[in-house]
Structure 1
Amino acid sequence: MTERPVDLPANQPRQFYRGGAAIAALRGEPDAAPGRFGPEDWVASTTTLFGRDPDGLTRLPDGRWLRDAVRADPVAWLGPAHVAEFGADPALLVKLLDAGQRLPVHCHPSNAFAARHLDCRHGKTEAWIVVGTTGPSPTVYIGFREDVPASVVSEWVSTQDSTAMLSALNPVAVRPGDTVFVPAGVPHAIGEGVFIVELQQPTDFSVTLEWRGFLDDPDAWHLGLGQETALGCVERSAQRVEDLVLRTGTADSANLLGAQADPFFRADRLHVSGRVVLEESFAVLVVLEGEGSLGSLPVRRGSTVVVPHAAGPCELTGTLTTIRCRPPLPS
């Protein structure tokens, strides 16, 4: 068991869509293949890609999977209160996601749907912290603008009417500092040129409504559940953008995502100039700018660090900006 923060290398399992240049730039690494299919960096991951175990898992410097290390000593990694509620499960997955092309319209199951149909306690509520953009009009798409009947959604999926699906969503222009909360079931897509730190529940369940041109297997979109069952997870009611999007700017924020995200995950932005003491907690840190130290561990722009609960209160020193991601507070 480690009692110190651990610096983690990139962990970019192959995906079906392009991206990754912004991740390479953040980490100060050459982007050897600008058109590559490594748009997601799974940070401190104990989660696997759907049907692709062990892809997605984080390996520690000592050679162990982080998943196995947590299972071997969950209290040290996660803390006693967390373990009492979630067991040896961080209940969190953090990603860097760089959309090199628009993602398809898709959504994710809720906890109840996942428990009933996928034998998993976690669905996939997620949130995006925008940390970079490129292009003339970086945009995300979140929730239907109007209520949509089940028969219409089914028809869109059957005919793969991409235009209708995307047009039905709320387009939101984004810039660095914006955050977007994405409840389970709400259809969404991320536009080309949007670079985010993503927090989510620790699953890889996606119902890919717009699969043509994205997925090689036309049956992969419904998680093996069939169309009728899979579409039962779609939230078809209209969504208010102002309930889901926060314009946080670049200032310090003790809660980037708002109270609605607290049952799923927590995130804050820290601008450090000197010294800040972080309370003991399992956490994932993504350093966006500058350099310094977390305890005795040197960190700099592009560092991704997992902090075990047993590390106790940690001193973050230097001149830097970081996003700190944590699991939900035990209820």
Structure 2
Amino acid sequence: MRPVRLAANQPPRFYRGGAAIADLRDAPSAVEFGPEDWVASTTTLFGVAESGLSRLPGGRWLRDEVRAAPSAWLGAEHTAAFADDPALLVKLLDAGQRLPVHCHPSDSFAQAHLGCRFGKTEAWVVVGTTGPDPLVYIGFREDVDAATVRAWVSTQDSSAMLGALNAVRVQPGDTVFVPAGLPHAIGEGVFIVELQQPTDLSVMLEWRGFADDESAGHLGLGYETALACVDTSGWSADRLAGLVRETRDRRAPVVPLLPAEADAFFRADRLHPGSVVELEPSFAVLVVLEGAGVLRTDSDDLAVRRGDTVVVPHGAGAARLEGDVVAVRCRPPAPGRK
């Protein structure tokens, strides 16, 4: 078991983007309508058999390799809780246009209505922005009754939906934790590393201008059922402060990026080695943002540089990241937290 460098994996999506991914990876050109790079993915697009899955060098699906040796890839503690599912999906997401107002189901909603173990809590690590006013939109500013939300969706009143959300200006180094149910949108020019539960479940409150018709927005449930997953409570500035963190000025060797409540879903740290950073054994996804260095394990040494994405099996053992490099390390839920 050894770390593996992965190629880009950009399934077609309904919105524009991809230039920032191409720039990070030093690719010759951007993929048209390729705003998401699904890294080390064992998850498919909703309702699709294979699109979204990551291939290892040689062409094997990572999903199949993990299923064949789950303890080696994920570790005994993880497999005791999640069997052969990494319980994590990592993306590079480049918003070439504003995303629609949408939200994601919770675990309980997904289990009750979709037969799926996981909902879709997520988090954003902002790694780049363009334009004069990079914004994300998170949670309703005030309580909204369910009938009002249904009316907005029925009439596709985009201005009302967007205007009801908190607009938050972001810059590289900011992180946002997005619990399931929280209505949100990502503004044009925001480039993130996204951690999420391993599903492609979205309820689109705003679909006009993004999808062909409303059927793309409610997961086949109909809006009467799907909108029950929306958090209609108000999010004050004090409440939002628990979700949004500013970490750009922190330069410790290992900088935790997310609040403690995220540990039940995923974990993220930014690594600033300078010399050497010791990393305990874990399944992990590494996104290299700056510089170059070496990822050393007992089984192999892997040279890494800006734009590399690497999947690290638990069975590779303790790792050491060395060199003048900055990277985001993404991991599954903390043992015992789910």
Question: Shared fold (TM-score greater than 0.5)?
Answer: yes
Q: Which residue of structure 2 lines up, in the alignment, with residue 272 of structure 1?
A: 273
Q: Which residue of structure 2 lines up, in the alignment, with residue 258 of structure 1?
A: 259
- Does residue 311 (structure 1) correspond to residue 316 (structure 2)? The answer is yes
Taking the TM superposition and a 5 Å limit, the aligned residue runs for 1:202-281 are: 202-239=198-235, 240-251=239-250, 252=252, 253-281=254-282
- Does residue 78 (structure 1) correspond to residue 77 (structure 2)? The answer is no
- Higher mean Cα deviation, 131-140 or 250-259? 250-259
Q: Distance in 1 between matches of 2:130 and 2:261?
A: 29
Q: Distance in 1 between matches of 2:330 and 2:318?
A: 15
* Structure 2 counterpart of 1:286, one-letter code: V
127, 138, 143: which is aligned to 1:147? 143
Secondary structure of the residue aligned to 1:328 is coil
The answer on whether the counterparts of 2:39 and 2:90 sit within 8 Å (CA) in structure 1 is yes
The answer on whether the counterparts of 2:3 and 2:313 sit within 8 Å (CA) in structure 1 is yes
- Higher mean Cα deviation, 95-104 or 240-249? 240-249
56, 59, 65: which is aligned to 1:63? 59
- Does residue 290 (structure 1) correspond to residue 320 (structure 2)? The answer is no
Q: Distance in 2 between matches of 1:124 and 1:136?
A: 30
Query: Deviation string for 1:186-216 (max 9, x for gaps)?
Result: 0000000000000000000000000000011
Q: Which residue of structure 2 lines up, in the alignment, with residue 48 of structure 1?
A: 44
Q: Which residue of structure 2 lines up, in the alignment, with residue 124 of structure 1?
A: 120
**TM-score normalised by the chain length of structure 2:** 0.95
Deviation at 1:321, TM superposition (A): 0.2
Q: Which consecutive residues of structure 1, in runs of 5 or more, have no partner in the other structure?
A: none
* Structure 2 counterpart of 1:87, one-letter code: A
Q: Which consecutive residues of structure 2, in runs of 5 or more, have no partner in the other structure?
A: none
**TM-score normalised by the chain length of structure 1:** 0.97
Secondary structure of the residue aligned to 1:156 is helix
- Higher mean Cα deviation, 58-67 or 76-85? 58-67
Deviation at 1:227, TM superposition (A): 1.0
- Which 4+ residue blocks in structure 1 deviate beyond 6 angstroms? none
Q: Which residue of structure 2 lines up, in the alignment, with residue 113 of structure 1?
A: 109
- Does residue 326 (structure 1) correspond to residue 331 (structure 2)? The answer is yes
Q: Distance in 1 between matches of 2:247 and 2:111?
A: 34
Q: Distance in 2 between matches of 1:250 and 1:63?
A: 40
Secondary structure of the residue aligned to 1:273 is coil
Going from structure 1 to structure 2, the CA distance change for 1:32 and 1:82 (only over 3 Å counts) comes to closer
User: How big is the alpha-carbon RMSD for the aligned residues of Structure 1 and Structure 2?
Assistant: 0.9
* Structure 2 counterpart of 1:267, one-letter code: A
Deviation at 1:51, TM superposition (A): 1.2
Secondary structure of the residue aligned to 2:126 is strand
Taking the TM superposition and a 5 Å limit, the aligned residue runs for 1:178-189 are: 178-189=174-185
The answer on whether the counterparts of 2:21 and 2:30 sit within 8 Å (CA) in structure 1 is no
Deviation at 1:62, TM superposition (A): 2.6
* Structure 2 counterpart of 1:7, one-letter code: R
Secondary structure of the residue aligned to 2:204 is coil
